[in-house]
Amino acid sequence: MLHAAEETGATIIGEIFHQFAPQGVTGVVAIAESHLCIHTWPEHRYAAVDIFTCGVNFDPTEAAWLIVGQLESRDHEIKEVIRGDLPMPAVPGA
């Protein structure tokens, strides 16, 4: 997650990961552009990743492909969900 954020231009401002016993991890990487998070269920060979971003300097699709590669996923699905697509406010005096 950290590698994907760094390699795709995100500004990392914090991170936390929790290792479950006997297996699995939950992690959040806070970035100035929003966040990346992961939840894993190794016993099911499953991981769910959320990449939420705003701004133009970070490429979430590239980050997703880096994570797919790092997890060595052979069966993956990447979905893009547009949330909060609001019109830009008018700039006074422009």
Given the residues 39, 44, 73, 76, select the one marked as catalytic: 39
Given the residues 3, 18, 34, 76, select the one marked as catalytic: 34
Is residue 39 flagged as an active site residue?
A: yes
Q: What is the pLDDT of residue 32?
A: 93
**18-71 residue pLDDT tens:** 999 999 999 999 999 999 999 999 999 999 999 998 877 888 999 999 999 999
Is residue 54 flagged as an active site residue?
A: yes
Alpha carbon of 77 to those of 31, 42, 65, 67, 81: distances in Å? 23, 17, 10, 12, 13
**76-89 residue pLDDT tens:** 999 988 877 667 67
State the residue for tokens 């499953």: 46
Is residue 37 flagged as an active site residue?
A: no
Q: Which CATH superfamily is domain 2-70 in?
A: S-adenosylmethionine decarboxylase (3.60.90.10)
Domain ranges of the chain: 2-70
Q: What is the pTM of this model?
A: 0.81
Q: How many CA atoms lie within 13 A of 55 on its CB side?
A: 16
